[in-house]
Structure 1
Amino acid sequence: MTEVSTELEEYAVTLMSAALHGVRAGAKPDRVTWEQVYRLADRHSILPMILPALPDGALASGGMPAELAERWRHSADMTLYQQVSYDIEREAITADLRKAGLSWMPLKGIMVAGYYPQPGMRSMSDQDIVVGYVEPDGAGGWRPRGDGADAGGAGEGRKGWARKADEHVDRIMKAHGYEAASTVGRDSSYFKPPLHFEIHRSLISAAEVAAGSAKTAEVDYYANPWRLATCKGVPPCEFRFGVRDEYVFHIDHMSKHYRGSGFGLRFLADEYLYCVRFPEEVGSEYVAEQLGYLGLGGFERAVRELSVALMEHPGSWRSLVGPEVRELFGDVLSGGIYGSMERKIARTMGREQGLLATEPEGAGSRSATPHGRVPRFVDYLWRRLFPPRAIVETYYPTWSNPLARLLLPLHRAALALREHPKRLAQEIVLAWRQGRNGRGR
């Protein structure tokens, strides 16, 4: 990835910086249109963020087209509506979780949205909550219920309580009018348009290691997230990470996107707000130690340096950072809020590892490919058709026995052809283009 940006993208950063500082930006460059600004901001989910920073008169007659101004206002209104609706829904849902004896912990956007200068500036596609039965660990902390030495051996007690939690969660979410979209993996997804909740059983799974988006150290570190949190009262209750642990998880979550398809500009705004609101916590020895253990120290330093430079010096940031950080900015601009399919394919083929190049692990990295010197394209298709056992057991549990696994590629191909034919064709074309210039191991 090269360190490329355009006048349009630089102006988008100027708007972000102004918004986060509560001021209006200067006039847009003449060669940039408001339609271009809108499309870029929409792709990176920053439309509501930068709306307050638009120059005087931008939304009025003589500024941008009236239809575009209306779309922009509607996007901001919907973001504010969703944030308020999420708060109301979350309060009602967690009240029922408490009645069922379940504890919960809000994550990600739920927390970060409150750090923005005003409500409705930070878009959220969903609400992430960890839910489970929690008990004292005997050492002043907390653990999943059934996880102790007297739980029945080999973690079976914990699994039993986790199944019970799933049953209660499903009943509660459906009682609140939500439909289950998926109940496998590390979280269950529930929709009641335009609202979407992801109820997590765990924060990171072995399947993500197999896919190359996480490391075994991260799975071990977050196996018991409750140990890192404090309880508001006596369980069942709401748990919260302290700011330091919240920040570590924020970086870990960002790194998973980076290892996969990438992340967009909104992540840099989130990072900047952590840095300016909690400078002592972000710069603490504890955070450095935890990130070092997770292998994310260098990644965090680059992301922090880039975010602060962009948001505090949008016009001269390039002179304040090194080439690796400038390249990271080009990386961020290459896709949208969650990167791009092209980037994900490149990561999977092992052709592009970026800031985490020295830390590949799992079947998602080229170094783990078992197929010898084969064309990258063939190797990529093999992995897509025959995913590692951990992925099958997590996301396709009914196909996990040996015979069913042989038939799974046919099921996956038929499903993709029926539900996402254009996306499947695009993936094959991109994989062919990226793979024809190189070979596997």
Structure 2
Amino acid sequence: MDKFQKDFLNILKSALISEKTTIKEDFNWEDALNIAKEHDVLVMLYYGIKASDIDASEDIMQKIKQNVYVLVQKSTFQEYEAINLYKEFDNNKIVYMPLKGEIIKNLYPCIEMRYMGDIDVLIKSEQYDLIKDIMQKNGYNELCESDHEYIWDKPGKLHIELHKHLIPSYNKDYFSYYKDSWKNAKKLSETNYCLSDEDFFTYIFTHLAKHYRDGGIGIKHFVDLYVFLNKVKDLDKKYVEKELEKLNLTTFYKNVLNTVDVWFNDKEENEISDFITNKVFSSGAYGTKYNKLMAEALKKSKSLNSTKNIRMIYVFQNIFPSYKKMEKRNPILKRIPFLLPALWIVRWFEILFFNNNLIKEKGQEIYNTSEENVKKYQDELNFVGLDYNFKE
């Protein structure tokens, strides 16, 4: 961990525990501002600066304050809209369970410190027709449906992901554990459910592992672990470890908790904690395009039991996208699936004559998808204790 990373994390810690910290004179505030924005920890950075009475330049503080004002306003809108939506669910006997940041924000010194771009709520798919009607009546627009969620937006107010499952089905190893999303749900009221502290922690850690493996995860999610473990002192860690063992996450769990201790509890760093720290700082909130490309290629290589010819397979998949990918762009395929070959031709025409930038972009991706690069990504995952334990 370099000096900048250490100072940056110390400022965040200062916000969380209200203890003063000092930073080096050559601390790069522009980099700090950019990283905080990328990782959704700008509000936390601001509170840390104030808690430590750090003397940043007037220009930097003005930039931070302007951004923080907008983020706090968004958080306020989110909170208001979420409360109203839950009331609607309660009144209409809709069963729901808030997830991830919607729960963990309440463990932070103030909820706006844990900024969220959206909120996640688990629902029961059999109630979706009723839910859809409620969402529309309350000013929400349905954006799309993915493998594991329905995505809605109320412009300028709230972006919400209504989960069908806790984990996407294409993450087959983790999905096999979470296939019954409601199996560990505990009833708070007739309609509102939650997870136990142990099951919640297991879930947010699995979510972190999923994103790290699929392309990267940001600082905020490591801070979540620190905040949770600091607040929930009676956590049954043996239960958590037993469940994570079922998920093949034991080694990664130990490495991540060690990294969290290096960040916030003055534990001595090692090669793995340094590697994870650098990876997280360079990942943004949810990974890089390059790492996501490598993750997809690696998953495909698992099906082939080899990284050989992975580039040619990637070329083929871009020329002839799967039915599932084409159906997302062309809903008509749901009704008339035999149109797939014709829509491939339409796609080629559009790209060749109207989207030359996409040709360049895909060309670069094909170049990057080499056996050497995919193998390197595999080694990096194995180094921290991760792998894809399934075939597509």
Deviations 1:201-236 (A, max 9, x none): 222232x2xxxxx234x32322222220111233xx
- TM-superposed deviation, 1:275: 1.8
Change (3 A) 1:331 1:81: same
2:201 is aligned with 1:267? no
The equivalent position to 1:229 in structure 2, one of 185, 190, 194, is: 185
Query: In structure 2, how many angstroms separate the alpha carbons of the residues matched to 1:310 and 1:231?
Result: 36
- TM-superposed deviation, 1:111: 0.9
2:14 is aligned with 1:21? no
The equivalent position to 2:79 in structure 1, one of 66, 80, 87, is: 87
- TM-superposed deviation, 1:373: 3.9
Q: Please state whether the residue corresponding to 1:220 is helix, strand or coil.
A: helix
The equivalent position to 1:330 in structure 2, one of 267, 278, 284, is: 278
Amino acid at match of 1:199: L
- TM-superposed deviation, 1:288: 1.2
2:48 is aligned with 1:53? yes
Equivalent positions of 1:188-207 (< 5 A) are 188-194=150-156, 195-206=158-169
Change (3 A) 1:290 1:46: same
Percent identity of equivalent pairs? 20
Asked if the contact 1:128/1:199 (under 8 Å) is kept, the reply is yes
Q: Please state whether the residue corresponding to 2:23 is helix, strand or coil.
A: coil
Equivalent positions of 1:14-413 (< 5 A) are 14-30=10-26, 32-54=27-49, 55-56=52-53, 58=55, 63-66=56-59, 68-132=60-124, 162-163=125-126, 165-194=127-156, 195-206=158-169, 208=170, 214-216=171-173, 218-234=174-190, 237-281=191-235, 284-313=237-266, 317=267, 320-350=268-298, 364-369=299-304, 373-374=308-309, 376-384=310-318, 386=320, 398-399=332-333, 403-407=338-342, 409=344
Partner of 1:433: 368
Query: In structure 1, how many angstroms separate the alpha carbons of the residues matched to 2:200 and 2:123?
Result: 17
Query: In structure 2, how many angstroms separate the alpha carbons of the residues matched to 1:419 and 1:122?
Result: 42
Asked if the contact 2:151/2:162 (under 8 Å) is kept, the reply is yes
Change (3 A) 1:125 1:202: same
Partner of 1:150: none
Partner of 1:357: none
Q: Please state whether the residue corresponding to 1:169 is helix, strand or coil.
A: helix
Asked if the contact 1:79/1:124 (under 8 Å) is kept, the reply is no
Deviations 1:337-363 (A, max 9, x none): 11101111222233xxxxxxxxxxxxx
- TM-superposed deviation, 1:427: 5.5
Amino acid at match of 2:175: V
Change (3 A) 1:277 1:399: same
Query: In structure 2, how many angstroms separate the alpha carbons of the residues matched to 1:246 and 1:420?
Result: 44
Asked if the contact 2:7/2:23 (under 8 Å) is kept, the reply is no
Query: In structure 1, how many angstroms separate the alpha carbons of the residues matched to 2:72 and 2:369?
Result: 41
Partner of 1:145: none
Partner of 1:147: none
Query: Relative to structure 2, which stretch is displaced further, 188-197 or 259-268?
Result: 188-197
Across the aligned residues of Structure 1 and Structure 2, the Cα RMSD in angstroms comes to 3.2
Query: In structure 2, how many angstroms separate the alpha carbons of the residues matched to 1:387 and 1:304?
Result: 39
Query: In structure 2, how many angstroms separate the alpha carbons of the residues matched to 1:220 and 1:430?
Result: 31
Asked if the contact 1:399/1:408 (under 8 Å) is kept, the reply is no
Deviations 1:102-134 (A, max 9, x none): 1000001101111112231111000100112xx
Q: Please state whether the residue corresponding to 2:97 is helix, strand or coil.
A: strand
- TM-superposed deviation, 1:426: 4.2
Change (3 A) 1:406 1:323: farther
Provide the TM-score with structure 1 as the length reference. Answer: 0.74
Query: In structure 2, how many angstroms separate the alpha carbons of the residues matched to 1:396 and 1:183?
Result: 13
Asked if the contact 2:314/2:366 (under 8 Å) is kept, the reply is yes
Q: Please state whether the residue corresponding to 2:182 is helix, strand or coil.
A: helix
Asked if the contact 1:76/1:121 (under 8 Å) is kept, the reply is no
- TM-superposed deviation, 1:308: 1.9
* Between structures 1 and 2, the one with greater helix share: 2
Q: Please state whether the residue corresponding to 2:160 is helix, strand or coil.
A: strand
